[in-house]
Amino acid sequence: MNTNIDLSQLCTLGVGGVAESFAAPDSPEEVQQLIKAAKGSPVYVLGGGSNIIFPDGVIHGLVISTRNLSTITWHDDMSADIQAGYKLPVLVKTLRDKNLAGLEFAAGIPGSLGGAVSGNAGAGGHGVCELIESVLAIDSSGSFRVYNQKDFSFEYRKCSLACENIIILSVKMKFREAKPEEDENIYQKFLSLRKNQPLNFRSAGCTFKNPEGNSAGKLLDDCGCKNLRVGGAVVSDRHANFILNTGNASSSDVTGLIKICSDKVFNNTGIRLEQEIKNASPCFFALL
């Protein structure tokens, strides 16, 4: 357990305050011990830090990083248990090396598997939750829980598990044998889509979800949001759905700019964009 950890250094956007208590457990059992010891305290979870904004100042309670929960255990040639901290780009590469397929749409998406599951990360109408057979999680009492495929639902950028007051520990996923030429073409197609994103600056990825039948980036661009700035946060002039940290942005700069952009689109089009970047909130308060 560590204290006063600067969370801005652990998030891709580079903003956020200081964790009052911070731990990076090496096993599900260690997570269980931490939760049982955190009686009455708010418990946050931090995965790869690629899609989250922690507030400025002191974050009271316990922040659990899943970065050391990063093993993969194969059951057979097609299925494996993968811990929540396993990095999604590493998983995509692992599958390609094993001549397996199913995650080509995730080419170039950063972050950890746990975060990818909670937000059903994906592209082109596909999401990681499609491949899940079961999920091992832990709740506010420190009890382990297993969710089978029938126990949860998912849709575009949403998974019901994210609303269950739990921490995802590992995921059992089933893949398929690759069709080399076909799947490689799909992989390269999705990888090429990332080339239009402003990857040379710190960001948290897409700020808003795409409304049905529309593009958040185009709406933001059409409403004049490119280059809008609050403090050290600026809307990318390359892709309007990305907010960049120019070097000294605070969380309040980012959240202020998000509101300005959301309001501009709503005032001009009547469409209220739904935020894709997550504002950090406790998974739960550990039971006394």
pLDDT at 116: 96
Give the chain's length.
288
Q: Which residues are catalytic?
A: 157, 206, 276
| pTM: predicted TM-score of the whole model, two decimal places | 0.94
Q: At residue 165, does pLDDT exceed 80?
A: yes
What is the identity of the amino acid at 23? A
**Segment 22-33 mean pLDDT:** 98
Phi, psi of 7 (to 5 degrees): -75, -20
The band of 134, judged by pLDDT with boundaries at 50, 70 and 90, is very high
CB–CB of 117/152 below 8 Å? no
Residue 57 DSSP class: S
For 241, counting Cβ atoms within 10 Å of its Cβ (0-12 exposed, 13-18 middle, 19+ buried), the class is buried
The pLDDT assigned to 200 comes to 79
CA 140, 146, 151 angle in degrees (round to 5)? 105
Q: Is the predicted pLDDT of residue 237 greater than 90, yes or no?
A: yes
3-state DSSP call for residue 46? strand
pLDDT in tens, 40-92: 999 999 999 999 999 999 999 999 999 999 999 999 989 999 999 999 999 99
Strands 42-46 and 229-230 come out as unpaired
Query: Does 109 score more than 90 pLDDT?
Result: yes
**Which range (130-134, 172-176, 180-184, 217-221) has the least confidence?**
180-184
Which fold is adopted by the domain 2-68?
Answer: 3.30.43
CATH topology of domain 72-193: 3.30.465
Q: What mean pLDDT comes out for the span 258-276?
A: 98
pLDDT bin (cut points 50, 70, 90) of residue 261 is very high
Cβ of 5: how many Cβ atoms within 10 Å? 20
- By DSSP bridging, strand 284-285 and strand 229-230 are unpaired
The residues spanned by each domain of the chain are: 2-68, 72-193, 199-278
- Give me the pLDDT at residue 195, please: 76
Give the model's pLDDT for residue 194: 80
pLDDT tens-digit series, residues 167-205: 999 999 999 999 989 999 999 999 888 877 887 789 999
Q: Nearest Cα to 205, choosing from 153, 253, 157, 270?
A: 157
| Cα 10 to chain centroid, rounded | 13
Cα 274 to chain center, whole Å? 15
pLDDT at 212: 92
Instruction: Please give the pLDDT value at position 197.
Output: 81
Token code pair at residue 63: 């922040």
Q: Are residues 115 and 213 in contact, defined by beta-carbon separation less than 8 angstroms?
A: no
Distance CA(76)–CA(61), nearest Å, equals 40
The fraction of the chain above a pLDDT of 70, given in percent, is: 100
Number of neighbours of residue 116 by Cβ within 10 angstroms: 30
DSSP E strands, 14-112: 18-23, 42-46, 52-53, 58-65, 72-74, 79-83, 100-101
**Which DSSP helix (H) or strand (E) runs through 146?**
strand 144-148
pLDDT of 288 > 90? The answer is no
pLDDT of amino acid 121: 95
**Distance of alpha carbon 138 from alpha carbon 127, whole angstroms:** 23
Q: Whole-number mean pLDDT of the chain?
A: 95
Pick the CATH number of 199-278 from 3.40.50.2000, 3.20.20.150, 3.90.78.10, 3.40.630.10: 3.90.78.10
Q: Which residue is listed with tokens 């100042």?
A: 57
